[in-house]
Amino acid sequence: MSTLKETLAQATKDAMKARAKERLATLRLINAEIKRVEVDERIELDDARILALLDKMTKQRRDSITQFEKAGRAELAAVEQAEIDVIQEFLPEQLSEDEIAEIVAAAVKDTGASSMADMGKVMALVKPQVQGRADMGVISKLVKAQLG
C-alpha cells in the first residue's frame, strides 16, 4: 500500500473519531475515487497516480466553484472550497510562480523548443516535475508565452 493511501486511511479514521462530518465526507470521496480507479484498471495506485487523481479532483472543484459563483450560489461554492481545502492537505506544497517559470524555461531550453509545435515536448517534460504542485492551466499559459 502506498504511503499516501495509508495517510488518507489514517486521516479518515481520525475524522471519524473527531466526528468531523464534512471532512469525513471529503475523505470518503477521495478514497472512493481511488478505489474506483483501482477496480476499473485492476491495479493498485502508487503515490504519483494518487497525486494526479487528487490534482484532477481539485481542478473539478475549481471549475464547479466558477460555475456556482456565476449562478449566484455562494453556499455551494463554499462547500466546494471546503473540499478543496481538505484535498490540498494531501498534495505537496504548491510551487510559486517564479519556481514554475524556472521549470518551464529549463524545459524549453532542454527540448530546444522554438515554436508552438514543440509545446507537447515541453509539457511532457514539465508535467512530471509539477504534478500536484501547480495548476496545469498556469503551466500551459507560461509555456505558450515562452513559445509564442
Final residue belonging to a domain, choices 59, 88, 117: 88
Q: What is the pTM of this model?
A: 0.77
Alpha helices in the chain (DSSP H): 3-18, 21-41, 47-70, 74-88, 97-111, 119-130, 136-147
Q: Do 80 and 111 belong to one domain?
A: no
Last-in-domain residue among 88, 116, 137: 88
Domain count, the chain: 2
The residue type of 125 is L
What does the pLDDT look like over 29-66, one tens digit per residue? 999 999 999 999 999 999 889 988 998 999 999 999 99
Give the Cα separation of 15 and 134 in Å (integer): 27
pLDDT in tens, the chain (148 residues): 678 999 999 999 999 999 999 999 999 999 999 999 999 999 999 988 998 899 899 999 999 999 999 999 999 999 999 999 999 999 888 888 888 889 888 888 888 878 788 888 888 888 888 877 887 888 888 888 888 7
> What's the domain range around 138?
97-147
Same domain, residue pair 31 and 79: yes
The CATH number of residue 52's host domain is 1.10.1510.10
Cα–Cα distance measured from residue 7 to residue 91, given in angstroms and rounded to the nearest whole number? 11
Please check whether residues 84 and 101 belong to one and the same domain. no
Residues 34, 102 within the same domain:
no
And the C-alpha cell for 140? 500551459
